[in-house]
Protein backbone atom coordinates (compact mmCIF):
# COMPACT_ATOMS: atom_id res chain seq x y z
CA UNK A 1 0.00 0.00 0.00
CA UNK A 2 1.06 3.59 -0.60
CA UNK A 3 1.17 6.62 1.72
CA UNK A 4 1.04 10.15 0.33
CA UNK A 5 2.37 12.83 2.68
CA UNK A 6 1.30 16.40 1.88
CA UNK A 7 3.33 19.06 3.71
CA UNK A 8 1.40 22.34 3.88
CA UNK A 9 3.81 25.26 3.67
CA UNK A 10 1.33 28.00 4.59
CA UNK A 11 -2.39 28.59 5.10
CA UNK A 12 -4.28 28.17 1.83
CA UNK A 13 -6.24 31.26 0.79
CA UNK A 14 -9.96 31.17 -0.01
CA UNK A 15 -10.59 29.89 -3.53
CA UNK A 16 -7.37 27.91 -3.69
CA UNK A 17 -7.03 24.25 -2.87
CA UNK A 18 -5.63 20.80 -3.61
CA UNK A 19 -6.62 18.05 -6.05
CA UNK A 20 -5.81 14.55 -4.79
CA UNK A 21 -5.55 11.71 -7.32
CA UNK A 22 -5.44 7.96 -6.85
CA UNK A 23 -4.28 7.49 -10.43
CA UNK A 24 -7.72 6.65 -11.80
CA UNK A 25 -9.96 8.97 -9.77
CA UNK A 26 -9.48 12.37 -8.25
CA UNK A 27 -11.22 14.83 -5.97
CA UNK A 28 -10.65 18.55 -5.37
CA UNK A 29 -10.83 20.34 -2.02
CA UNK A 30 -11.13 24.15 -2.01
CA UNK A 31 -10.58 26.59 0.84
CA UNK A 32 -13.76 28.54 1.70
CA UNK A 33 -15.15 30.84 4.34
CA UNK A 34 -15.71 29.39 7.79
CA UNK A 35 -18.98 27.46 8.02
CA UNK A 36 -19.33 26.96 4.25
CA UNK A 37 -22.03 24.32 3.55
CA UNK A 38 -20.52 23.33 0.21
CA UNK A 39 -19.13 19.82 -0.16
CA UNK A 40 -15.37 19.29 -0.48
CA UNK A 41 -14.57 22.67 1.07
CA UNK A 42 -12.52 23.42 4.15
CA UNK A 43 -11.71 26.46 6.27
CA UNK A 44 -7.92 26.85 6.12
CA UNK A 45 -7.52 28.99 9.22
CA UNK A 46 -4.49 31.20 9.75
CA UNK A 47 -1.62 28.71 9.72
CA UNK A 48 -0.33 25.64 7.91
CA UNK A 49 -1.29 23.51 10.93
CA UNK A 50 -4.88 24.82 10.78
CA UNK A 51 -5.00 24.06 7.05
CA UNK A 52 -3.71 20.50 7.59
CA UNK A 53 -6.31 19.76 10.29
CA UNK A 54 -9.16 21.20 8.21
CA UNK A 55 -8.06 19.34 5.08
CA UNK A 56 -8.01 16.03 6.98
CA UNK A 57 -11.60 16.59 8.10
CA UNK A 58 -12.68 17.36 4.53
CA UNK A 59 -10.97 14.25 3.11
CA UNK A 60 -12.49 12.02 5.81
CA UNK A 61 -15.96 13.43 5.18
CA UNK A 62 -15.65 12.91 1.42
CA UNK A 63 -14.28 9.40 1.90
CA UNK A 64 -17.16 8.48 4.19
CA UNK A 65 -19.68 9.87 1.69
CA UNK A 66 -18.38 8.58 -1.65
CA UNK A 67 -15.08 6.65 -1.26
CA UNK A 68 -14.14 8.07 -4.67
CA UNK A 69 -10.44 7.51 -3.94
CA UNK A 70 -11.06 4.05 -2.53
CA UNK A 71 -10.59 3.13 1.12
CA UNK A 72 -8.36 5.59 2.93
CA UNK A 73 -6.78 6.22 6.31
CA UNK A 74 -6.13 9.96 6.83
CA UNK A 75 -4.35 11.74 9.66
CA UNK A 76 -2.28 14.87 10.29
CA UNK A 77 0.83 15.66 12.31
CA UNK A 78 1.42 19.38 12.64
CA UNK A 79 1.35 20.63 9.03
CA UNK A 80 1.69 17.21 7.35
CA UNK A 81 -1.40 15.43 5.99
CA UNK A 82 -0.82 11.66 5.64
CA UNK A 83 -3.12 9.70 3.33
CA UNK A 84 -2.83 5.89 3.33
CA UNK A 85 -4.33 4.40 0.16
CA UNK A 86 -5.67 0.97 1.18
CA UNK A 87 -6.25 -0.18 -2.38
CA UNK A 88 -3.12 -2.06 -3.51
CA UNK A 89 -3.88 -1.20 -7.15
CA UNK A 90 -3.10 2.45 -6.31
CA UNK A 91 0.61 2.68 -7.04
CA UNK A 92 1.24 6.36 -7.75
CA UNK A 93 -1.18 8.68 -5.92
CA UNK A 94 -0.45 12.38 -6.24
CA UNK A 95 -1.62 15.88 -5.30
CA UNK A 96 -1.70 19.01 -7.44
CA UNK A 97 -2.34 22.65 -6.66
CA UNK A 98 -5.57 24.53 -7.36
CA UNK A 99 -4.68 28.20 -7.69
CA UNK A 100 -1.80 29.23 -5.45
CA UNK A 101 -1.79 26.54 -2.75
CA UNK A 102 1.75 26.02 -1.45
CA UNK A 103 2.67 22.46 -0.43
CA UNK A 104 5.05 19.61 -1.19
CA UNK A 105 4.45 15.86 -1.42
CA UNK A 106 6.31 12.61 -0.80
CA UNK A 107 5.32 8.99 -1.54
CA UNK A 108 6.26 5.89 0.50
CA UNK A 109 5.26 2.27 1.02
CA UNK A 110 3.11 1.11 3.95
CA UNK A 111 3.43 -2.27 5.65
CA UNK A 112 0.15 -4.11 5.11
CA UNK A 113 0.34 -5.61 8.60
CA UNK A 114 0.15 -2.15 10.16
CA UNK A 115 -3.65 -2.36 10.19
CA UNK A 116 -3.98 -6.03 11.21
CA UNK A 117 -7.04 -6.75 13.37
CA UNK A 118 -5.87 -8.97 16.22
CA UNK A 119 -9.19 -10.77 16.75
CA UNK A 120 -10.71 -13.64 14.81
CA UNK A 121 -14.26 -12.97 13.67
CA UNK A 122 -16.29 -16.16 14.30
CA UNK A 123 -19.35 -15.65 12.12
CA UNK A 124 -21.73 -18.04 13.94
CA UNK A 125 -21.50 -15.96 17.13
CA UNK A 126 -21.86 -12.20 17.59
CA UNK A 127 -18.61 -10.29 17.24
CA UNK A 128 -18.77 -6.80 18.69
CA UNK A 129 -16.76 -3.93 17.26
CA UNK A 130 -16.68 -0.67 19.20
CA UNK A 131 -16.09 2.80 17.75
CA UNK A 132 -14.91 5.25 20.42
CA UNK A 133 -14.09 8.93 19.99
CA UNK A 134 -10.39 9.74 20.15
CA UNK A 135 -10.82 12.60 22.60
CA UNK A 136 -13.31 10.86 24.88
CA UNK A 137 -16.03 13.44 24.13
CA UNK A 138 -19.64 12.55 23.27
CA UNK A 139 -20.44 11.54 19.69
CA UNK A 140 -23.56 12.03 17.59
CA UNK A 141 -23.29 8.88 15.44
CA UNK A 142 -20.89 6.20 14.27
CA UNK A 143 -20.46 4.43 10.97
CA UNK A 144 -18.63 1.40 9.60
CA UNK A 145 -17.58 0.86 6.00
CA UNK A 146 -17.09 -2.90 5.77
CA UNK A 147 -15.36 -4.62 2.87
CA UNK A 148 -15.93 -8.40 2.85
CA UNK A 149 -14.36 -10.52 0.13
CA UNK A 150 -12.61 -13.79 -0.68
CA UNK A 151 -9.63 -14.40 -2.92
CA UNK A 152 -6.39 -12.41 -2.84
CA UNK A 153 -5.98 -10.10 0.10
CA UNK A 154 -6.23 -6.38 -0.69
CA UNK A 155 -6.15 -6.81 -4.47
CA UNK A 156 -9.58 -8.54 -4.57
CA UNK A 157 -11.16 -6.02 -2.20
CA UNK A 158 -14.19 -4.39 -3.92
CA UNK A 159 -13.93 -0.77 -4.93
CA UNK A 160 -16.98 0.16 -2.85
CA UNK A 161 -17.86 -1.05 0.67
CA UNK A 162 -19.78 -4.32 0.80
CA UNK A 163 -21.80 -2.88 3.70
CA UNK A 164 -22.20 0.58 5.19
CA UNK A 165 -23.63 0.44 8.71
CA UNK A 166 -24.61 3.57 10.59
CA UNK A 167 -25.87 4.01 14.13
CA UNK A 168 -27.37 7.29 15.24
CA UNK A 169 -29.70 5.89 17.90
CA UNK A 170 -27.08 6.20 20.61
CA UNK A 171 -27.56 6.53 24.31
CA UNK A 172 -27.43 10.11 25.53
CA UNK A 173 -23.99 11.37 26.47
CA UNK A 174 -21.95 8.46 25.13
CA UNK A 175 -18.57 8.49 23.47
CA UNK A 176 -18.86 5.14 21.68
CA UNK A 177 -21.07 2.90 19.57
CA UNK A 178 -20.97 -0.90 19.27
CA UNK A 179 -21.73 -2.96 16.15
CA UNK A 180 -22.13 -6.70 15.59
CA UNK A 181 -20.01 -7.36 12.50
CA UNK A 182 -20.15 -11.19 12.30
CA UNK A 183 -23.43 -11.24 10.38
CA UNK A 184 -21.89 -9.32 7.51
CA UNK A 185 -19.25 -11.98 6.86
CA UNK A 186 -21.42 -15.05 7.46
CA UNK A 187 -22.53 -15.56 3.87
CA UNK A 188 -18.92 -15.34 2.66
CA UNK A 189 -17.44 -17.94 5.05
CA UNK A 190 -17.61 -21.38 3.49
CA UNK A 191 -16.09 -24.80 4.00
CA UNK A 192 -16.03 -27.11 0.98
CA UNK A 193 -15.16 -30.78 0.73
CA UNK A 194 -14.56 -31.86 -2.86
CA UNK A 195 -15.52 -35.29 -4.20
CA UNK A 196 -11.80 -36.08 -4.13
CA UNK A 197 -11.74 -35.45 -0.37
CA UNK A 198 -9.82 -32.17 -0.64
CA UNK A 199 -10.72 -29.92 2.30
CA UNK A 200 -10.81 -26.17 1.66
CA UNK A 201 -11.73 -23.44 4.14
CA UNK A 202 -12.73 -20.14 2.57
CA UNK A 203 -12.03 -17.54 5.23
CA UNK A 204 -13.23 -14.13 4.00
CA UNK A 205 -11.22 -11.02 4.66
CA UNK A 206 -13.16 -8.34 6.52
CA UNK A 207 -11.69 -4.84 6.33
CA UNK A 208 -13.29 -2.29 8.65
CA UNK A 209 -13.16 1.50 8.22
CA UNK A 210 -14.75 3.22 11.26
CA UNK A 211 -16.03 6.80 11.38
CA UNK A 212 -17.81 8.87 13.99
CA UNK A 213 -19.51 12.26 13.96
CA UNK A 214 -18.77 14.78 16.67
CA UNK A 215 -19.93 18.41 16.64
CA UNK A 216 -21.13 17.81 13.06
CA UNK A 217 -17.59 16.90 11.95
CA UNK A 218 -16.71 13.44 10.58
CA UNK A 219 -13.67 11.76 12.12
CA UNK A 220 -12.07 8.59 10.75
CA UNK A 221 -10.39 6.11 13.05
CA UNK A 222 -7.61 3.81 11.95
CA UNK A 223 -8.97 0.97 9.77
CA UNK A 224 -8.51 -2.64 10.84
CA UNK A 225 -8.11 -5.63 8.54
CA UNK A 226 -9.43 -8.92 9.87
CA UNK A 227 -10.22 -12.50 8.90
CA UNK A 228 -13.55 -14.24 9.42
CA UNK A 229 -13.98 -17.93 10.29
CA UNK A 230 -16.97 -20.25 9.94
CA UNK A 231 -16.92 -20.94 13.67
CA UNK A 232 -18.52 -19.94 16.97
CA UNK A 233 -17.92 -19.51 20.66
CA UNK A 234 -19.77 -20.98 23.63
CA UNK A 235 -21.87 -18.78 25.90
CA UNK A 236 -19.51 -19.23 28.83
CA UNK A 237 -16.56 -18.05 26.71
CA UNK A 238 -17.95 -14.53 26.73
CA UNK A 239 -17.62 -11.78 24.12
CA UNK A 240 -15.52 -12.16 20.97
CA UNK A 241 -13.89 -15.55 21.73
CA UNK A 242 -10.79 -16.44 19.72
CA UNK A 243 -8.62 -19.52 19.28
CA UNK A 244 -5.20 -18.82 20.77
CA UNK A 245 -4.00 -22.33 20.01
CA UNK A 246 -1.96 -23.25 16.94
CA UNK A 247 -4.11 -26.37 16.69
CA UNK A 248 -7.58 -25.65 15.28
CA UNK A 249 -9.35 -28.38 17.24
CA UNK A 250 -10.12 -29.01 20.90
CA UNK A 251 -8.52 -32.46 21.40
CA UNK A 252 -4.80 -33.23 21.58
CA UNK A 253 -5.38 -36.95 21.11
CA UNK A 254 -6.45 -38.29 17.72
CA UNK A 255 -8.01 -41.71 17.13
CA UNK A 256 -7.55 -42.66 13.47
CA UNK A 257 -7.83 -45.50 11.00
CA UNK A 258 -4.66 -45.79 8.98
CA UNK A 259 -4.31 -42.08 8.25
CA UNK A 260 -5.32 -38.85 9.93
CA UNK A 261 -5.58 -35.13 9.34
CA UNK A 262 -5.65 -32.05 11.53
CA UNK A 263 -6.17 -28.32 11.00
CA UNK A 264 -3.63 -25.69 11.94
CA UNK A 265 -4.17 -22.02 12.75
CA UNK A 266 -1.70 -20.29 10.43
CA UNK A 267 -1.82 -17.12 12.56
CA UNK A 268 -0.16 -18.99 15.42
CA UNK A 269 1.93 -21.81 13.88
CA UNK A 270 5.28 -21.82 12.09
CA UNK A 271 5.93 -25.51 11.44
CA UNK A 272 4.34 -28.95 11.89
CA UNK A 273 6.55 -32.00 12.50
CA UNK A 274 5.23 -35.58 12.36
CA UNK A 275 7.24 -38.30 14.13
CA UNK A 276 7.06 -42.07 14.52
CA UNK A 277 8.98 -43.60 17.43
CA UNK A 278 11.02 -40.41 17.71
CA UNK A 279 11.98 -40.26 14.04
CA UNK A 280 10.76 -37.46 11.77
CA UNK A 281 8.58 -38.77 8.93
CA UNK A 282 7.02 -35.52 7.66
CA UNK A 283 7.58 -31.76 7.96
CA UNK A 284 5.12 -29.04 6.93
CA UNK A 285 6.23 -25.39 6.96
CA UNK A 286 3.48 -22.86 7.64
CA UNK A 287 3.39 -19.50 5.90
CA UNK A 288 2.11 -16.63 8.01
CA UNK A 289 1.76 -14.34 4.99
CA UNK A 290 -1.97 -14.87 4.54
CA UNK A 291 -2.33 -13.57 1.02
CA UNK A 292 -5.30 -15.76 0.03
CA UNK A 293 -8.59 -16.79 1.65
CA UNK A 294 -7.67 -20.47 1.88
CA UNK A 295 -4.46 -19.91 3.88
CA UNK A 296 -5.62 -18.95 7.44
CA UNK A 297 -6.65 -22.56 8.23
CA UNK A 298 -4.43 -25.31 6.79
CA UNK A 299 -5.24 -29.02 6.72
CA UNK A 300 -2.26 -31.26 7.43
CA UNK A 301 -2.72 -34.89 6.34
CA UNK A 302 -0.52 -37.85 7.10
CA UNK A 303 0.57 -40.17 4.30
CA UNK A 304 -1.07 -43.51 3.52
CA UNK A 305 0.28 -46.19 5.83
CA UNK A 306 0.83 -49.27 3.66
CA UNK A 307 2.14 -51.26 6.63
CA UNK A 308 -1.15 -50.68 8.43
CA UNK A 309 -3.22 -51.90 5.48
CA UNK A 310 -1.03 -54.98 4.97
CA UNK A 311 -1.29 -55.90 8.66
CA UNK A 312 -5.06 -56.27 8.31
CA UNK A 313 -4.58 -58.59 5.32
CA UNK A 314 -1.93 -60.79 6.88
CA UNK A 315 -3.67 -61.33 10.22
CA UNK A 316 -7.10 -62.42 11.33
CA UNK A 317 -8.18 -59.87 13.94
CA UNK A 318 -11.93 -60.42 13.70
CA UNK A 319 -14.01 -60.61 16.88
CA UNK A 320 -11.13 -60.00 19.32
CA UNK A 321 -11.75 -56.25 19.50
CA UNK A 322 -15.06 -56.52 21.34
CA UNK A 323 -13.70 -57.15 24.84
CA UNK A 324 -10.61 -54.93 24.81
CA UNK A 325 -10.15 -51.49 26.27
CA UNK A 326 -9.22 -48.73 23.86
CA UNK A 327 -5.66 -48.43 25.18
CA UNK A 328 -5.12 -52.15 24.72
CA UNK A 329 -6.21 -52.52 21.13
CA UNK A 330 -4.66 -49.26 19.94
CA UNK A 331 -1.27 -50.32 21.24
CA UNK A 332 -1.68 -53.87 19.92
CA UNK A 333 -2.71 -52.80 16.44
CA UNK A 334 -0.84 -49.53 16.05
CA UNK A 335 1.14 -49.23 12.84
CA UNK A 336 4.18 -47.54 11.40
CA UNK A 337 2.42 -44.19 10.79
CA UNK A 338 3.19 -41.02 12.71
CA UNK A 339 2.31 -41.30 16.39
CA UNK A 340 3.23 -37.77 17.52
CA UNK A 341 2.67 -34.35 15.97
CA UNK A 342 4.62 -31.31 17.13
CA UNK A 343 3.20 -27.90 16.20
CA UNK A 344 5.78 -25.19 16.61
CA UNK A 345 4.24 -21.84 17.48
CA UNK A 346 5.37 -18.38 16.42
CA UNK A 347 5.95 -17.50 20.08
CA UNK A 348 8.42 -20.38 20.48
CA UNK A 349 6.16 -22.82 22.36
CA UNK A 350 5.31 -26.27 21.04
CA UNK A 351 1.91 -28.00 21.07
CA UNK A 352 1.88 -31.80 21.04
CA UNK A 353 -0.77 -34.07 19.52
CA UNK A 354 -0.71 -37.83 20.13
CA UNK A 355 -2.08 -40.19 17.47
CA UNK A 356 -3.49 -43.66 18.08
CA UNK A 357 -4.67 -46.09 15.42
CA UNK A 358 -7.55 -48.55 15.47
CA UNK A 359 -7.46 -51.53 13.13
CA UNK A 360 -11.08 -52.68 12.83
CA UNK A 361 -11.35 -55.86 10.77
CA UNK A 362 -14.91 -57.00 11.41
CA UNK A 363 -16.64 -53.85 10.13
CA UNK A 364 -15.80 -51.26 7.52
CA UNK A 365 -14.98 -48.04 9.41
CA UNK A 366 -16.85 -44.94 8.26
CA UNK A 367 -15.41 -41.44 8.52
CA UNK A 368 -17.42 -38.29 9.18
CA UNK A 369 -15.86 -34.91 8.40
CA UNK A 370 -17.38 -31.81 9.97
CA UNK A 371 -16.62 -28.13 10.53
CA UNK A 372 -15.77 -27.60 14.19
CA UNK A 373 -16.18 -24.56 16.46
CA UNK A 374 -13.04 -22.94 15.06
CA UNK A 375 -14.33 -23.15 11.49
CA UNK A 376 -11.83 -25.92 10.66
CA UNK A 377 -12.32 -29.41 9.25
CA UNK A 378 -12.16 -32.31 11.69
CA UNK A 379 -12.65 -36.06 11.24
CA UNK A 380 -14.26 -38.70 13.45
CA UNK A 381 -14.14 -42.41 12.67
CA UNK A 382 -17.05 -44.76 13.41
CA UNK A 383 -15.48 -48.17 13.71
CA UNK A 384 -18.41 -50.47 14.52
CA UNK A 385 -21.50 -51.59 12.63
CA UNK A 386 -23.55 -49.23 10.51
CA UNK A 387 -26.95 -49.72 8.89
CA UNK A 388 -28.58 -48.01 5.92
CA UNK A 389 -32.31 -47.22 5.73
CA UNK A 390 -34.64 -45.27 3.48
CA UNK A 391 -37.89 -43.39 3.97
CA UNK A 392 -40.24 -42.67 1.07
CA UNK A 393 -42.71 -39.84 0.53
CA UNK A 394 -45.40 -40.04 -2.11
CA UNK A 395 -48.50 -38.32 -3.44
CA UNK A 396 -51.20 -40.15 -5.41
CA UNK A 397 -54.59 -39.57 -7.02
CA UNK A 398 -57.56 -41.71 -8.09
CA UNK A 399 -58.18 -41.98 -11.80
CA UNK A 400 -60.82 -43.55 -14.08
CA UNK A 401 -59.48 -46.62 -15.87
CA UNK A 402 -62.42 -46.86 -18.36
CA UNK A 403 -61.32 -45.80 -21.83
CA UNK A 404 -57.85 -47.13 -21.36
CA UNK A 405 -55.62 -48.97 -23.78
CA UNK A 406 -57.02 -52.30 -25.05
CA UNK A 407 -55.14 -55.53 -25.74
CA UNK A 408 -54.12 -54.28 -29.21
CA UNK A 409 -52.55 -51.11 -27.83
CA UNK A 410 -55.36 -48.85 -29.00
CA UNK A 411 -57.51 -46.48 -26.96
CA UNK A 412 -61.03 -47.80 -26.49
CA UNK A 413 -63.83 -45.66 -25.10
CA UNK A 414 -65.54 -48.62 -23.42
CA UNK A 415 -62.52 -50.65 -22.43
CA UNK A 416 -62.18 -51.40 -18.72
CA UNK A 417 -58.58 -52.25 -17.78
CA UNK A 418 -57.76 -54.26 -14.68
CA UNK A 419 -54.02 -53.79 -15.29
CA UNK A 420 -54.01 -50.01 -14.90
CA UNK A 421 -53.55 -48.18 -11.59
CA UNK A 422 -56.69 -46.61 -10.23
CA UNK A 423 -54.57 -45.29 -7.34
CA UNK A 424 -51.85 -43.64 -9.45
CA UNK A 425 -48.67 -42.22 -7.91
CA UNK A 426 -48.16 -38.61 -8.84
CA UNK A 427 -44.61 -38.65 -7.51
CA UNK A 428 -42.36 -40.59 -5.15
CA UNK A 429 -39.19 -39.45 -3.51
CA UNK A 430 -36.83 -41.13 -1.09
CA UNK A 431 -34.34 -40.03 1.58
CA UNK A 432 -31.67 -42.41 2.87
CA UNK A 433 -30.29 -42.45 6.39
CA UNK A 434 -27.41 -44.24 8.04
CA UNK A 435 -26.96 -45.21 11.68
CA UNK A 436 -23.37 -45.24 12.90
CA UNK A 437 -21.66 -46.65 15.97
CA UNK A 438 -18.37 -45.19 17.07
CA UNK A 439 -16.68 -47.97 18.99
CA UNK A 440 -14.73 -47.06 22.12
CA UNK A 441 -13.38 -43.52 22.51
CA UNK A 442 -11.55 -41.69 25.30
CA UNK A 443 -13.56 -39.29 27.43
CA UNK A 444 -11.87 -36.20 25.93
CA UNK A 445 -13.69 -36.96 22.68
CA UNK A 446 -16.96 -35.83 24.31
CA UNK A 447 -16.09 -32.30 23.18
CA UNK A 448 -15.44 -33.53 19.63
CA UNK A 449 -18.86 -35.20 19.48
CA UNK A 450 -20.47 -32.04 20.90
CA UNK A 451 -18.96 -29.92 18.12
CA UNK A 452 -19.97 -32.50 15.53
CA UNK A 453 -23.59 -32.31 16.72
CA UNK A 454 -23.49 -28.49 16.49
CA UNK A 455 -21.91 -28.40 13.04
CA UNK A 456 -23.80 -26.97 10.07
CA UNK A 457 -21.62 -28.84 7.57
CA UNK A 458 -21.01 -32.59 7.76
CA UNK A 459 -19.84 -35.10 5.13
CA UNK A 460 -19.51 -38.87 5.11
CA UNK A 461 -16.95 -41.01 3.32
CA UNK A 462 -19.15 -43.89 2.17
CA UNK A 463 -18.75 -46.41 -0.64
CA UNK A 464 -15.67 -44.56 -1.89
CA UNK A 465 -17.64 -41.33 -2.27
CA UNK A 466 -17.73 -38.06 -0.33
CA UNK A 467 -21.40 -37.31 0.36
CA UNK A 468 -23.12 -34.53 2.35
CA UNK A 469 -25.15 -35.54 5.40
CA UNK A 470 -27.11 -33.88 8.18
CA UNK A 471 -27.08 -35.32 11.69
CA UNK A 472 -30.72 -36.02 12.46
CA UNK A 473 -30.28 -36.88 16.16
CA UNK A 474 -31.31 -33.85 18.17
CA UNK A 475 -29.75 -34.83 21.50
CA UNK A 476 -26.63 -36.46 22.87
CA UNK A 477 -25.80 -37.79 26.34
CA UNK A 478 -22.19 -37.09 27.27
CA UNK A 479 -20.54 -40.19 28.68
CA UNK A 480 -17.83 -40.54 31.28
CA UNK A 481 -15.49 -43.41 32.05
CA UNK A 482 -16.67 -43.46 35.67
CA UNK A 483 -20.34 -43.89 34.81
CA UNK A 484 -20.19 -45.61 31.46
CA UNK A 485 -16.88 -47.53 31.63
CA UNK A 486 -16.29 -47.90 27.88
CA UNK A 487 -17.45 -44.81 25.97
CA UNK A 488 -19.10 -45.19 22.57
CA UNK A 489 -21.68 -43.19 20.67
CA UNK A 490 -24.44 -44.01 18.19
CA UNK A 491 -25.78 -41.36 15.85
CA UNK A 492 -28.09 -41.22 12.86
CA UNK A 493 -27.35 -39.16 9.75
CA UNK A 494 -29.64 -38.25 6.87
CA UNK A 495 -28.08 -38.02 3.45
CA UNK A 496 -28.53 -34.38 2.42
CA UNK A 497 -30.05 -35.13 -0.98
CA UNK A 498 -32.98 -37.00 -2.51
CA UNK A 499 -32.33 -40.60 -3.53
CA UNK A 500 -33.75 -39.83 -6.97
CA UNK A 501 -31.85 -37.00 -8.60
CA UNK A 502 -34.39 -34.18 -8.65
CA UNK A 503 -32.12 -31.20 -9.36
CA UNK A 504 -33.43 -29.28 -12.38
Domain boundaries, given as residue ranges, for the chain = 2-110, 114-237, 253-388+430-495
Confidence tier at 486 by pLDDT (50, 70, 90): low
pLDDT digits (tens, 9 = 90+) for 129-153: 999 998 888 999 999 999 999 999 8
pLDDT digits (tens, 9 = 90+) for 156-208: 998 889 999 998 877 778 899 999 999 999 989 988 887 777 888 899 999 99
Q: What's the pTM?
A: 0.79
Mean pLDDT for the stretch of residues 478-491: 67
The Cα–Cα gap between 440 and 176 comes to 52
Confidence check: pLDDT of 314 > 60: no
Q: Show the beta-strand stretches assigned E in 47-189.
A: 72-77, 80-85, 94-98, 103-109, 116-122, 128-132, 141-149, 163-167, 176-180
The string of DSSP letters for 174-228 reads: -SEEEEE-HHHHHTT-EEEE-TT--EEEE--EEEEEEEEEETTEEEEPPPEEEEE
Mean pLDDT for the stretch of residues 320-348: 60
Q: Topology of domain 2-110, per CATH? A: Immunoglobulin-like (2.60.40)
pLDDT digits (tens, 9 = 90+) for 225-258: 999 999 999 999 999 998 999 999 999 999 988 7
The Cα–Cα gap between 162 and 142 comes to 17
Domain covering 114-237 in this structure, CATH number: 2.60.40
Confidence tier at 210 by pLDDT (50, 70, 90): very high
Q: In what order do the strands lie in the sheet with 350-357?
A: 253-256, 350-357, 340-345, 269-276, 279-285
Q: Which residues of 256-289 are buried (b: 16+ CB within 10 A; e: fewer)?
A: bbbbbbbbbbbbbbbbbbbbbeeeebbeeebeee
Q: Could you check whether 2-110 and 114-237 share the same CATH topology?
A: yes
Amino acid sequence: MKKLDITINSAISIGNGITISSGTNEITFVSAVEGSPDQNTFYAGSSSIDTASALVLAIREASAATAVLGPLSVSSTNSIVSINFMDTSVTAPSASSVGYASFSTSLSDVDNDLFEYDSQVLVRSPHYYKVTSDNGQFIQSAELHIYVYIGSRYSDRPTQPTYVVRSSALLANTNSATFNISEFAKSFAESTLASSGTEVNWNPFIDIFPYYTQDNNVYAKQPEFGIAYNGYGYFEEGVNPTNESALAQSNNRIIANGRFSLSVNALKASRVILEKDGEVVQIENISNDLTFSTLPLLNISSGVNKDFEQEAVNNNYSDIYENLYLSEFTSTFSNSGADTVYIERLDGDVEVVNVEYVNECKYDPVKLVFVNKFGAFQSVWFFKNNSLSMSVKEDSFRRNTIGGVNMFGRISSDQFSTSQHQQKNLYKTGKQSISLNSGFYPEEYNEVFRQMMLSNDVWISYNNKILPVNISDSSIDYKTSINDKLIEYSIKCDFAFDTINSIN
